[in-house]
Amino acid sequence: MSSSSVNKRDEIHLQSNNRLVRESLIYHRKDLVRANITSDEGISLLDQQFDSSDNSNDTLIDYVYNCCKLTDTTPANLDFIPYKNVLNVEVLPNESDEGESEDSSNIIEVTYALPPDNANHDLKISKVKLELENQPELPTNISQFILSKSYKNNLIRPKILVLINPHGGQGNAKSIYKHKIMPVLQAADVKITYIETKYHGHATEIARDLDINSYDIIVCCSGDGIPHEVINGFFLRPDKGLQAFNKIAVTQLPCGSGNALTLSTHGTSNPSVSTFRMLKAHKAKLDLMAVTQGTGNKKTTKLSFLSQCYGIIADSDIGTEHLRWLGPVRFEIGIAQKVFGGAKYPCELYVKEKISNKSEILNHVNDYLTNSNSNDSLPSVTEENLTISGPELDEPVPDDWKRIPDDITHNLNILYVGKMPYVSADAQFFPAALPSDGAMDMIVTDSNNSIWKLTSILLAVEKGDHIEDEKVHHVKVLSYRLIPNIRDGSKHYISIDGEDFPFEPFQVEILPGVLTGLLQDGNFVETSVTK
């Protein structure tokens, strides 16, 4: 046999071996990656090459991107999966040992979120099968061990009731849920009950009649209207929602035109990223506000989680509903019309102040943030928390209330009171608002300011700098009463959480720590005041 034929045969043999090695590596990398869990921060992948320029070590909690795609591949340059990125863990049978119980297996499948390469890429969810190397040191329940580190909020595979307003988000809510929210929930293996609301007030009825033991979280895939209805549905229960407020967290994922709750708690209007952040959030107590109108047998009290407004903001919001097809620009058009028209809204305004000095408000915020701890156990809501203690609307206000001077209220153009820092993606209207400080933030401006001054104040709202302006009255209050002094109320509006309320006197008081919400590290997202 010639040497050339031997060399050729050897070459074929080597090529065959090389192909087998490559196939083995590809199979091993894609379907079974060696790993260990010795780190306190995540899972180390031993078979992966790490590219130091990659951002894979960063946790997704720091990213805000646009979509969610499922993939079953593992990037070749990933060598570490942070626990914060893990969505689910399943223990698989160890195929090498027949008859071995799944509990003792060191083979797991990890579902995790992978940060995109840049802001133009979609959020990705990946799965990888791992063979854990440090088996003698492994905890008895590997899945529970990893998930407990991944979900430090203890909300592992929660039971979720999804309430979706199919008409929200200019009719796109169902599509947003299906393509951006549901894949993330399914990846986390949560238990989902899905209900579409059929009419205005339907979510209130659902919350009123709900079996609260069946759910851990109510997720409102909507604008701010469905959370408002859910909270008031709880309040209509025989115990005024006492058990529901203690048992169930209420949150929002952005599927509507107004997404203040998700912006303030999850820090993004991106549906898939906000879903991820919701799953990783901590339960926390939030203050609510009780809004009372009417007297005697016509007296009604409803709960507010977001805001109340009277004046330019209310008229520009509720008063432009007929222009909803224009999207957010309708609100800007309404604002411009009122500002340049010199609109003013005379009223009587009485307040029970908590903090009136702006520097003291900043100190209050700093003290709150310094002393807050997301690991603290949640206080239980009691009947006292839900008791309305203010005077009747036809009674004089107590002596410790203050009447705002007539030179302000006779020329008032904006009264805005809130408990959430963000009212829209480009409006930090209440940057000093805190989850449960037992106070509401009140913002008042008047037409004694020039048009250009008011315009500059409103432009500063985007960054939350407006509260620093000396022409802006900013106080933290415990209660207040507003009496409109406009003859033709049919052309004007009072907005509560973005909902149209009767144009008549109303009174509001704080209800401390009633609502259970979901927050990042136990606080609202960062604002100009809290950063």
- The dihedral formed by the CA atoms of 78, 67, 424 and 241, expressed in degrees to the nearest 10: -90
Task: Tell me how far CA of residue 278 lies from CA of 30, 89, 252, 413, 504, in angstroms.
Answer: 30, 18, 9, 37, 37
User: Is the per-residue pLDDT at 291 higher than 80?
Assistant: yes
Give the start-to-end residue ranges of the domains of the chain: 1-26, 32-146, 159-280, 300-512
Catalytic residue set: 224
Report helix, strand or coil for 10. Answer: helix
User: Is the per-residue pLDDT at 192 higher than 90?
Assistant: yes
Compute the average pLDDT of residues 490-504.
93
User: Is the per-residue pLDDT at 247 higher than 70?
Assistant: yes
The pLDDT of residue 57 is: 46
CB burial string 278-313: b at 16+ within 10 A, e below: bbbbbbbbbbbbbbbbbeeeeeebbbbbbbbbbbbb
Using CA of residue 208, residue 236, residue 233, residue 265, what is the dihedral sign?
Answer: negative
Q: How confident is the model at residue 489 (pLDDT cuts 50, 70, 90)?
A: low
For residue 47, count CB atoms less than 10 angstroms from its CB and return exposed for 0-12, middle for 13-18, buried for 19 or more: middle
User: Is the per-residue pLDDT at 11 higher than 50?
Assistant: no
Report helix, strand or coil for 401. Answer: coil
Question: Are the beta carbons of 308 and 145 closer than 8 angstroms?
Answer: no
The pLDDT of residue 329 is: 66
The pLDDT of residue 52 is: 35
The pLDDT of residue 328 is: 63
Using CA of residue 45, residue 51, residue 57, residue 60, what is the dihedral sign?
Answer: negative
pLDDT digits (tens, 9 = 90+) for 370-423: 998 767 789 999 999 999 999 999 999 999 999 999 999 999 999 999 999 999
User: Is the per-residue pLDDT at 19 higher than 50?
Assistant: no
CATH number of 300-512: 2.60.200.40
pLDDT digits (tens, 9 = 90+) for 507-516: 999 999 999 9
The pLDDT of residue 163 is: 98
**Distance in angstroms between the alpha carbons of the first and the last residue of the chain:** 80
Q: 57-71, 346-360, 409-423, 485-499: lowest mean pLDDT where?
A: 57-71
Compute the average pLDDT of residues 85-89.
96
- The dihedral formed by the CA atoms of 519, 522, 526 and 527, expressed in degrees to the nearest 10: 90
> Comparing C-alpha atoms, which of 133, 129, 143 is closest to residue 33?
129
Q: What is the mean pLDDT of the chain?
A: 85
pLDDT digits (tens, 9 = 90+) for 314-370: 998 887 665 565 566 666 777 888 888 889 999 999 999 999 999 999 999 999 999
The whole-angstrom separation of Cα 173 and Cα 167 is: 7
Encoded tokens for 327: 């999207």
CATH number of 159-280: 3.40.50.10330
The model's pTM is 0.87
pLDDT digits (tens, 9 = 90+) for 133-183: 876 677 888 999 999 999 987 889 999 999 999 987 678 899 999 999 999
pLDDT top residue among 475 and 65:
475
The pLDDT of residue 215 is: 98
Task: Tell me how far CA of residue 426 lies from CA of 221, 233, 459, 509, in angstroms.
Answer: 20, 30, 10, 28
